Structure 1
Amino acid sequence: MRTERNLTRRLDRVFARLDREPERPAHIDVPRMSRHRVVLFSATLAFYLAIVWAVVTTSWLVRLDWQVMFFRPYQQWPEIHAFLDYYVVLGQRGPTAVMVAAWLGWRSWRQHTVRPLLTLATSLLLLNVTVGAAKIGMGRLGPHYATVIGSNEMGLGGDIFPSGHTANAVVTWGILAYLASTPRARRWLSALSAVTSLGVGLTTVYLGTHWLSDVLLGWAAGLLILLALPWFEPLIAKAELWLFELRDRWRARRGRTAPEPAVPVTPVVLTARGAAAEPEPPAPAREPVSPTRASRGLAHLAPGPHTARSERTPVTPAGSRRPPHADRLPHTDRLPRGTSQPARPLTGG
């Protein structure tokens, strides 16, 4: 029972921290499917289909794949092999997803929204479905498992085409540019993610694990997912709304439980002569208000120390223009310390 109460208090502190966070933006810019984005999506899709057609028909691109494979870059430049073994990790799905999810989780905490995490989950789901289906459907073998020199190695049960490392690098690092809050940050992050993903793809060619055409198709596959994300923004918004409504219902269900009875403490107010005065009547209890989705803008502050009205220090505004009272004693006729001033009669207004 004690453990459950401690867990409840910790959750209340987490929600209070989220609700009163000052860095939550007033307006979050959500990308839309503009005409420019539609043109880019169509051009990237045409490039994707052209690469697939060039490999299926065993065109010049397949011959280039074999020439690069016979060149064996890992033997030409062996001094960078150790570095590229670590660099290629930037395209592995597990480590990159953990790193980017940690950053987006921190942004969700600061901005009081789960949209960054939901966008990342949507992009990774699309990546697994589209790239995975293309790998299994085309069944191309990699350079290390090639059987016939000069062939496209399609339909032989492989899973190398398109490059998953390249597509994952494009999506995972490109999602940071997609969720950037300013146009300048979006441009810089887009360039950085493009260079990183292209470097990861060329590293796989250097290591001999992918054909060059695999890298080109993987880069196009990841870019298609990033360009198509605005079509899924309404679904992401509905999922976020559902999550917050679920949180509010959980709060309301937990609020209906009877709280532990607290021992009331009656404040004792001492007058100037040291006698105990009668305590002030307690303030009327407010009616409980069920939390709703529309009340998210209010700050649910954590419980803190509360002082009674009689314990607060009176504050007199500076520069008051209130006229002096007629019965106020002059400066030289102050009463001695410990003597209470007679009460003034109340006048109707």
Structure 2
Amino acid sequence: MPTEGTLTRLDRVFARLDREPQRPAHLDVPTMSRHRVVLFSATLGFYLAIVWAVVTTSWLVRLDWQVMFFRPYQQWPQIHAFLDYYVVLGQRGPTAVMVASWLGWRSWRQHTLRPLLTLATSLLLLNVTVGAAKYGMGRLGPHYATVIGSNEMGLGGDIFPSGHTANAVLTWGILAYLASTPTARRWLSALSAVTSLGVGLTTVYLGTHWLSDVVLGWAAGLLILLALPWCEPVIARAETRILDLRDRWRTRSGLRAPVPGPVLPVGTPVVHKPRVPAAEEAPAPHGALGAGRASRTPVHLVPGPHSARAEHSPVTPSGSRRPPQPEHAPRGTTSAARS
């Protein structure tokens, strides 16, 4: 039978969920380190190299046509139904709703708007950069190609780079970017990489994108993830202004702002003591407590054999004031002396 001192694992879980959510004292905000700057520069150079290879109709365009003529959806038709659903992991609407739901719960639990503001900022950057590249280069897809061997650029298309791939890299990679521990960040980075890789290859299988579209989509999503630390000061200022507006609205509406409580360490069990009604509390005798003295909790003695006579002297914190006496009378003592 579990007692108050020995809480089960389920009790600790519910105690943590019942705890008042608090803003963490130290948020792990990534900074634009030298390592990240090097990765951003290398990815940007790779992005420009892919664009140049397609514009000049190099070997990469010939590889696009070879993969298109291979028609993977005809080579492996048994996985076509599954990949039709799997490619949804790269669509902006469903993935944004799923990730925003999780980050919204984290924002509420931590009393911070940073997760939601980071997601909104990344999606805004994705729409601007990828959308501008799509309509600026105007490449047609494999199903609408006109001349065999051409790069199909400047013909009014909107598939270069692949939006599905870039969105998969960014949307699932933002979970790794906002992870609170290094272990979670590594696992989520690997998961987002595998997911985005699968989404990109699925679009090539279905024939909706060239292979070079997918490669450029990976680079486009990674560029935004690597550049997010530059946006952190803007996100922090936006969060401060939004919270100030919320406090002003509460003040005008007559609502009291929540008072932050103590931040408990993770794993600390919270024990709720039952309240005793005032009618059940025993009234203290009049004059028993002096002015300014706090009431003491009654001490419950362990039941045991009690003597009929008051033979025991009062016990003080320093011990008994009565000298110790032998339990039995010494030998040779008369019965009168014993009595």
TM-score scaled by length of structure 1: 0.70
How far apart, CA to CA, are the structure 2 residues paired with 1:236 and 1:307? 48
Partner of residue 68, structure 2: 69
Q: Within 5 Å, give how 1:44-83 maps onto structure 2.
A: 44-83=43-82
Q: Which moved more, 1:206-215 or 1:309-318?
A: 309-318
- How far residue 311 of structure 1 moved from its aligned partner, in angstroms, is 9.2
How far apart, CA to CA, are the structure 1 residues paired with 2:63 and 2:77? 22
- How far residue 316 of structure 1 moved from its aligned partner, in angstroms, is 1.6
Amino acid in the other structure paired with 2:157: G
**1:93 is the counterpart of 2:92:** yes
- How far residue 26 of structure 1 moved from its aligned partner, in angstroms, is 2.5
Contact 1:19 1:296 in 2 (8 A): no
How far apart, CA to CA, are the structure 2 residues paired with 1:189 and 1:144? 34
Partner of residue 334, structure 1: none
What secondary structure, in the 3-state scheme, does the structure 1 residue paired with 2:252 have? helix
Cα shift readout 1:273-332 (whole Å, capped 9, x = no counterpart): xxxxxxxxxxxxxxxxx86xxx86358xxxxxx99999977752578xxxxxxxxxx9xx
How far apart, CA to CA, are the structure 1 residues paired with 2:202 and 2:21? 42
Amino acid in the other structure paired with 2:26: H
Partner of residue 297, structure 1: 260
Partner of residue 7, structure 1: none
Work out the number of aligned pairs and report it.
263
Q: Within 5 Å, give how 1:165-314 maps onto structure 2.
A: 165-255=164-254, 297-298=260-261
How far apart, CA to CA, are the structure 1 residues paired with 2:87 and 2:281? 64
How far apart, CA to CA, are the structure 1 residues paired with 2:157 and 2:221? 20
Cα shift readout 1:89-129 (whole Å, capped 9, x = no counterpart): 00000000000000111111111111100000000000000
Cα shift readout 1:219-250 (whole Å, capped 9, x = no counterpart): 00000000000000011011111111111101
Q: Within 5 Å, give how 1:97-116 maps onto structure 2.
A: 97-116=96-115
Amino acid in the other structure paired with 1:201: G
How far apart, CA to CA, are the structure 1 residues paired with 2:139 and 2:163? 13
Amino acid in the other structure paired with 1:297: P
- Using a 3 Å threshold, how does the CA distance of structure 1 residues 245 and 43 change in structure 2: closer, same or farther? same
RMSD: 2.6
How far apart, CA to CA, are the structure 1 residues paired with 2:174 and 2:188? 9
Contact 1:19 1:297 in 2 (8 A): no
Partner of residue 304, structure 2: none
Amino acid in the other structure paired with 1:183: P
**1:34 is the counterpart of 2:33:** yes
Amino acid in the other structure paired with 1:316: R
Spell out structure 1 runs of 4+ moving beyond 6 A.
306-314
**1:155 is the counterpart of 2:154:** yes
Partner of residue 128, structure 1: 127
Identical counterparts, % of pairs: 82
- Using a 3 Å threshold, how does the CA distance of structure 1 residues 312 and 222 change in structure 2: closer, same or farther? farther
- How far residue 25 of structure 1 moved from its aligned partner, in angstroms, is 2.7
Give the gaps of 5 or more residues in structure 2: 1-16, 263-274, 285-294, 300-309, 311-339
